[in-house]
Amino acid sequence: MTGLFVAGTDTGVGKTFVASAVCRALRERGALVAGLKPFETGCDPVARDAAALERAAQSGLPIDLRCPFRFRLPLAPAAAAEREGRRTGGSVARAATLVRRIGEAMPVVVESAGGIQVPLEPRRTNLDLAAELGLPVLLVGRNSLGTINHTVLTLDALERRGLRLWAVVLSAARRSDPSGEDNARWIAAARRGRRPRIVVLPRSTRAEASRRLGRELALDRLVG
C-alpha cells in the first residue's frame, strides 16, 4: 500500500488543508488517489473534512468508504461515540481494513482526527491506527508559539512506535507570530541527530500549496 498518514500535533493545525494539497499534487502527477478520513466528528450533518479531501482527490468513492465513522458532536471520536450512545469497539481495525482495501487500487492520503494521542475508541488512538496502517507519517503543526513542544513530543511518540516519518509541515498561523521565523530550526535542533525534513508552509492558496508541497515533499516518489 502506498500513501501517507497525515497526523497533527493538535486539532485545527491545518491537517485538512495540507492533506487536500497533497491529494491534489498527486492527482496532478497522474495518480488516482483517495483522500480518506476514517474518523470525523462535528458532522452536523456534513463531514466537511472528508468532503474537502474528496474535492481535491476526486476519487469517486462513496462517503461510507472515505469516512466510515462519523459523529455529530465536535469531540474526540471515542468521547463523541460515548455521548451519542454508539459503540466503537474494533473501529480502528475496521478502519484499517477499509483503508488497506482502497490502498490496493490507488495511493491513499489518510487524515487523522485531531492529534496523534486522540482516542478513537476506549483503548486505541490515532497512533494505533497509524501503526496498523504502517504508512509513512506526514506530521502537520501550526507555525506559532508552542509548536516546538507539541511537535517534538509527537515526533518522539512516533519514533517510539517505530513509525517512519515522511516530513513535518508547519502551516501558517492565523495571525502574525514572531516565533514563526525560528520554530523549524529549534525543532530540528531538539531532534539532535534525528533531524526531520521540515517544510514551512506560508499563507497560500490551495493551488500554491499543492505545487509547493508536491515539490518539497518529493511526492513523485508516491506515484508509481
Which residue stretches of the chain are H helix?
Answer: 15-28, 48-57, 63-66, 77-83, 91-103, 126-133, 147-160, 183-190, 206-216
Specify the number of domains making up the chain: 1
* CATH of residue 160: 3.40.50.300
Encode pLDDT of 133-187 as tens digits: 999 999 999 999 999 999 999 999 999 999 999 999 999 877 778 898 999 999 9
Domain boundaries, position 202: 3-222
Cis peptide bond prior to 45, omega within 30° of 0: yes
Q: Is 15 among the residues known to form the active site?
A: no
What is the number of H-type helices and E-type strands within the chain?
9, 10
Predicted local distance difference test score (pLDDT) of residue 86: 87
Q: What are phi and psi of 96, to 5 degrees?
A: -65, -40
Tell whether pTM > 0.85: yes
Report d(CA 210, CA 201) in Å as an integer. 10
Encode pLDDT of 92-109 as tens digits: 999 999 999 999 999 999
Q: Of 27, 37, 70, 150, which residue is the catalytic one? A: 37
Residues 75-90, mean pLDDT to the nearest whole number:
89
* Half-sphere exposure at residue 151, Cβ-oriented, CA atoms within 13 angstroms: 31
